[in-house]
Chains A and B, each alone.
Chain A
Amino acid sequence: MFEIVSNELIGPQIYRLRVRAAKIARKRRPGQFVIVRAAENAERVPLTIADSDPEAGTISLVIQAVGQATKQLVALRPGEGIRDVAGPLGHPTHIEKFGRVVVVGGGIGTAVAMPIAQALKAAGNEVVAIIGGRSREFVILEYELRQIADRLIICTDDGSYGRKGFVTDALTELLASEQFDLAVAIGPVPMMEAVCNVTRPPAIPTVVSLNPLMIDGTGMCGGCRVTVGGQTKFACVDGPEFDGHQVDFVGLRSRLGAFRDQEQEAHKQLDEKCRLK
């Protein structure tokens, strides 16, 4: 059992769980993930580690409750526990002094981008962060990122907070007047794809962090395979970060939807059961 130390709502259906996992907290580097299983019989879910506190022996996971497995996780209260937490998995982000770096976070991808921005800043980079969401309440971790980044640009699709538009609009504008040595984009697949389309013409190396379906996270199932530069890679052991300009986003998107119909059916069945009770 891995004890839940705190569970806070930080956006619509978005929760930050602090989980006691002392060894992982000590070992983990930015960019790595864990696989968690809420309870016996639950699905294994890969989640990028948002932050860790080695002294307190805790890791933070930011979870959007969208499916059965994630709903089960965010329903856990402090004092209760997650049955299984395995990690840290995947390669850590490659951190060095690149110069000027723009870090783009969309939705809960912001939670993954934050520790990377932090590490890049600590390595001596100038960091500009762009974060966005559908509307004001979907913008998360603003306070934390303000402490880290040299500059923070906030966007909302509906203009309810920050500037109106997508993160890519802000990025396009930024790149028109400034030079960057590296871009890091983490968020929904369409967003990462759009960012790569923006950074491709000026040839800014762009790192994306992928979160495909996977079961074991150790290379065994191959469910997380993704085509990068024409070659098949396993996101769990070869990634999760890849050169965004080489990633086949079309294939990635369709593989992510492999079980969508069945999952919706499961929701319906479970909702039905709950109503009957």
Chain B
Amino acid sequence: MTENRKAPRPGRTPMREQPAAERKKNFTEVPYGYNLEEAVAEASRCLQCKKPLCVTGCPVEVDIPGFVGAIAARDLRKAVEILKGTNTLPAVCGRVCPQEEQCEIRCVLGKKGTPVAIGNLERFAADWEREQGEARMPEVAAPTGRRIAVVGSGPAGLTCAGELARRGHEVAIFEALHEPGGVLVYGIPEFRLPKKIVRVEIDNLKKMGVTVEVNSVVGKLDTIDELLAEYDAVFVGTGAGLPKFKDIPGENLVGVYSANEYLTRANLMRSYQWPESGTPPVKSKTVVVIGGGNVAMDSARTALRLGAQRVILAYRRSGDEMPARKAEIHHAQEEGIEFMMLTDPIEVLGDERGRVRAVRCLRMELAEPDASGRRKPVPVKGSEFEIECDTVIPALGNNPNPLVPRTTEGLKVGKWGNIEADSVTGQTSREGVFAGGDVVTGAATVIEAMGAGRRASRAIHDYVMARPPKRK
């Protein structure tokens, strides 16, 4: 019977990675990446659809069959060219994009088996180029005489800056911290996104003529109005950087850190290299992370690597509702993070010195779906219990950073403090001011912010070219 059937299509090529027992003790990147043969094998699985559905799932519309086909043909230079035609940061996206809900979920192969590993292939091509040394620069158009200020150097700002530089504009990026990259350097841990990759991408922008001013807190040092006096347009991509807390008693005790603080200490300030780096790491025996998103996973896995003996992730819904990527949840579980589902912390308890000693929690159960469409967690009566711990990390999301909205007159903001901007052009209520990324949408993904930066760059180009340049 079987001989009449076609040979089954080979499954997805797995990516080799550091064993869990080893990697939980270091900050080195977890997956090793494909080698050439693995990449070619995986790329050859692509059906090269005439009407590729995968592309419709990509916020920046990468020509996926194009670059995958080039890898299959072993023409890596061409693969990179195609990728970079629409995506300025492929090495980053190949690592942190949620491909499983964007491009890969739409892959026809996924209907009966496993979709093409588009993310892994993107990463492979971008890494190959970087390892060649000199990256080939995209062509830069003749100077237009227009100057554009980009506020914030996260995914939205970097993408917008790159696209505008390509069109011949003079672009200056203003970054508040001492190192550019935004969430790519302060938030996402080294073991998921090596900082070297971000630095190379930023160096590439500089080679295209983009300038980067670090330590420039726009809103405090320069206001948007002052920038507008010098620049033909301003793009605001200041992100969602104001951490939310749970507003429960005890949250200001010593030992409670927002995920932002916890991750910034480890990533941007490299506290894991302390005391060679000046910033001390948070030392813990037992850590309770509150939340179920990617940032919660990053915090929990960082805690393990900083030497915690036990790391518990408390999430008030069930595993099905967890917003984190499946791959991240899987990695966290492999490394030994304890998942306490349907657990809602209601108070942080301290000792006589004001330091965390435990978290009091309620058990939850799921009722009818709520406004988010997810089943609403409700407390189980009399289910209170305590988890003994010395560190608590609320990873509950962020509100948009308030510095620019607070200091820019006439800039319309929404009810969460987000800047109101057109979803296609990024145009705000102020002429010449465009915005995109998390400061507009609230905390979302790297690629969505990049998509917004890219779309805004087109609108900014049209806007500045329709007017005479400010600088004569």
Contacts and interface: CB of A to CB of B under 8 A. Distances in A.
Same assembly: yes
Interface string A38-53: 0001111000000000
Interface stretch (B41-49, B238-246, B334-342, B381-389): B238-246
Nearest to A270: B275
B278 A259 contact: no
Contact of B264 (A87, A221, A269, A270): A221
Task: Give the bracket for the number of chain A residues in contact with chain B.
Answer: 35 or more
Interface of B: 176-178, 186, 214-217, 220-222, 241-243, 245, 247, 251-255, 257-258, 260-261, 264-265, 268-270, 273-281, 283, 353-355, 401-403
A89 interface: yes
Interface of A is mostly: mixed
Contact of A254 (B275, B277, B280, B353): B353
A42 B254 contact: no
Contacts of B186: 216, 220
Contacts of A259: 280
A215 B264 contact: yes
Interface of A: 23-24, 27, 37, 41-44, 68-69, 72, 83-89, 215-223, 225-227, 232, 237, 248, 250-251, 254-255, 257-259, 262-263, 266, 269-270
A269 to B, nearest CB: 6
B275 A269 contact: yes
Nearest to B223: A27
A215 B415 CA distance: 27
B178 A27 contact: no
Contacts of B176: 86, 216, 218
A237 B280 contact: no
A220 B241 contact: yes
Contacts of B403: 218-219, 237
B177 A216 contact: yes
A41 B275 contact: no
A227 B251 CA distance: 10
A231 to B, nearest CB: 10
30 contacts: A23-B221, A27-B220, A43-B277, A44-B178, A72-B278, A86-B176, A86-B216, A215-B261, A215-B264, A215-B268, A215-B279, A216-B186, A218-B403, A220-B186, A220-B243, A220-B260, A220-B401, A221-B261, A222-B242, A222-B261, A237-B402, A237-B403, A251-B252, A251-B354, A254-B354, A255-B354, A262-B281, A266-B274, A266-B280, A270-B275
A220 B403 CA distance: 11
Contacts of B269: 43-44, 215
B85 to A, nearest CB: 33
Nearest to B406: A237
A27 B220 CA distance: 8
B260 A222 contact: yes
A133 to B, nearest CB: 28
